[in-house]
């Protein structure tokens, strides 16, 4: 399920042609991106693609080397992190080890010189919101990883920042806990309506959590869109391959694949490959428009379904899934088959 947070269509943050160099190394090039108020934007990309660098530029922890950053229409390029006042949750939890849970959460409020009564109220509210009631007086080392991450979230949200920046906050957690924390983050986002900018290299995490995803590679922005936009309509081969399994077929220059005529999608002109996600490919039935002869190389039994590994006449590999329920018997290895797909489920790359 996607985040159902209400996304007002007001631009809150804008990056205009932002670049960042470390010495001669271009960590980011020409990033232009608008972030709407209240949205859950994930920055997704492989290791070293520049996600964290972009987050630190947004937060004001590093200076841009070119371009501008705007907050609600005001040029914030030169502002310090304090002037921007965004909340930040890091990979490690960065809690103060000598302070209790309540003191950790209270810390930013004390810095802001809020009254004692206000601080006590807000801390109680935050402790409850992140499900840590009863743990107020514990030190971080007496907490589990998930609980420590909740404290970090509560601390970052305590002073009601307009924007919360999160850098792979769940990467240290095991898979189950990670799933739980993702759910909690979705709930917090829904309840608070704060803008979340979330760095991850985990495709599933980004698809499940975000209202939009910005995909980075080698310091360049590849595509920005809703999860189904970027998954179903990737802008290029990198995005197509990065976001999940994909079948890639070489086009043979005469609007076909390996000599078989194929209906091509609208964007095919000038591009050399056709991409179809495995879940959109099936064994052909009579009347299917796009049919491509293949040979079954292997069949991997996965319980409720099987994964078929296929080879085209040009020797390219394909994959599709077959339900193991009622229906015709599964084909044997070596069988000559035909696969089909609908033209709207294919895109050229």
**Token pair 């801390």 in the structure block, residue:** 123
CB of 22 to ligand ATP, least distance (A): 3
**By CB under 6 A, is residue 49 in contact with ligand ATP?**
yes
**By CB under 6 A, is residue 122 in contact with ligand ATP?**
no
Indicate if the alpha-carbon torsion angle 148, 153, 156, 160 is positive or negative: negative
CB of 68 to ligand ATP, least distance (A): 19
CB atoms within 10 A of CB 67: 18
| DSSP-derived pairing of the beta strands 25-36 and 11-22 | antiparallel
Identity of the residue, 55 or 76, whose beta carbon is nearer to ligand ATP in the bound complex: 55
CB of 145 to ligand ATP, least distance (A): 19
CB of 46 to ligand ATP, least distance (A): 7
119 contact partners, CB below 8 Å, separation of at least 6: 106, 109, 110
CB of 209 to ligand ATP, least distance (A): 16
CB of 201 to ligand ATP, least distance (A): 5
**By CB under 6 A, is residue 169 in contact with ligand ATP?**
no
Identity of the residue, 49 or 194, whose beta carbon is nearer to ligand ATP in the bound complex: 49
CB of 165 to ligand ATP, least distance (A): 12
Q: Which stretch binds ligand ATP (CB under 6 A): 32-40, 44-52, 277-285, 291-299?
A: 44-52
Of residues 174 through 203, those in contact with ligand ATP by CB under 6 A are 201
Identity of the residue, 38 or 45, whose beta carbon is nearer to ligand ATP in the bound complex: 45
Contact 173, 152 (CB under 8 A): no
Q: Identify the H or E element spanning 55.
A: helix 51-59
CA neighbor of 32 nearest in space, from 230, 223, 218, 240: 223
What are the DSSP E strand ranges found in the chain?
A: 11-22, 25-36, 40-44, 66-71, 74-75, 87-89, 163-167, 195-200, 212-217, 220-225, 247-250, 256-257, 260-261, 273-276, 282-283, 290-301, 305-312, 317-323, 336-341, 346-348
For residue 69, give both structure tokens: 């950053």
* Nearest-angstrom CA–CA distance, 53 and 11: 21
Of residues 201 through 230, those in contact with ligand ATP by CB under 6 A are 201
**By CB under 6 A, is residue 48 in contact with ligand ATP?**
yes
**By CB under 6 A, is residue 22 in contact with ligand ATP?**
yes
Identity of the residue, 48 or 278, whose beta carbon is nearer to ligand ATP in the bound complex: 48
**By CB under 6 A, is residue 47 in contact with ligand ATP?**
yes
Contact 53, 99 (CB under 8 A): no
**By CB under 6 A, is residue 53 in contact with ligand ATP?**
yes
Task: Please give the residue ranges that form the binding site for ligand ATP (CB under 6 A).
Answer: 22, 25, 27, 45, 47-53, 201
């Amino acid at each position: 399920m996607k985040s159902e947070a209400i996304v007002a269509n007001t631009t809150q943050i804008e990056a205009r042609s932002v670049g960042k160099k470390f010495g001669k190394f271009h960590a980011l090039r020409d990033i232009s991106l608008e972030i709407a108020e209240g949205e859950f934007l994930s920055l997704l990309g492989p290791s070293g693609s520049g996600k964290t660098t972009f987050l630190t530029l947004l937060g004001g922890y590093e200076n841009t080397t070119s371009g501008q950053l705007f907050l609600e229409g005001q040029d914030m390029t030169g502002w310090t992190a304090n002037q921007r006042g965004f909340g930040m949750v890091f990979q490690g939890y960065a809690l103060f080890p000598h302070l209790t849970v309540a003191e950790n959460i209270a810390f930013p409020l004390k810095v802001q010189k809020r009254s004692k009564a206000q601080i006590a109220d807000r801390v109680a509210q935050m402790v409850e919101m992140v499900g840590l009631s009863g743990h107020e007086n514990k030190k971080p080392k007496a907490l589990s990883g998930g609980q420590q991450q909740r404290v970090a979230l509560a601390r970052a949200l305590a002073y009601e920042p307009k924007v919360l920046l999160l850098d792979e906050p769940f990467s240290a957690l095991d898979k189950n806990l990670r799933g739980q924390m993702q759910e909690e983050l979705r709930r917090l986002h829904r309840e608070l309506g704060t803008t979340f900018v979330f760095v991850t290299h985990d495709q599933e995490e980004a698809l499940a959590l975000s209202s939009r995803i910005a995909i980075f590679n080698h310091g360049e922005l590849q595509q920005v869109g809703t999860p189904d936009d970027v998954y179903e309509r990737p802008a290029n081969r990198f995005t197509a391959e990065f976001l999940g399994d994909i079948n890639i077929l070489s086009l043979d220059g005469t609007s076909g694949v390996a000599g078989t005529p194929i209906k091509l999608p609208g964007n095919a002109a000038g591009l050399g490959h056709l991409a179809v996600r495995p879940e959109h490919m099936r064994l052909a039935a009579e009347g299917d428009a796009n049919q491509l002869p293949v040979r079954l190389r292997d069949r991997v039994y996965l319980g409720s379904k099987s994964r078929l590994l296929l080879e085209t006449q040009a020797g390219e590999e394909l994959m599709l899934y077959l339900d193991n329920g009622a229906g015709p018997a599964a084909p044997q290895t070596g069988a000559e088959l035909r696969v089909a797909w609908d033209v709207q489920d294919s895109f050229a790359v």
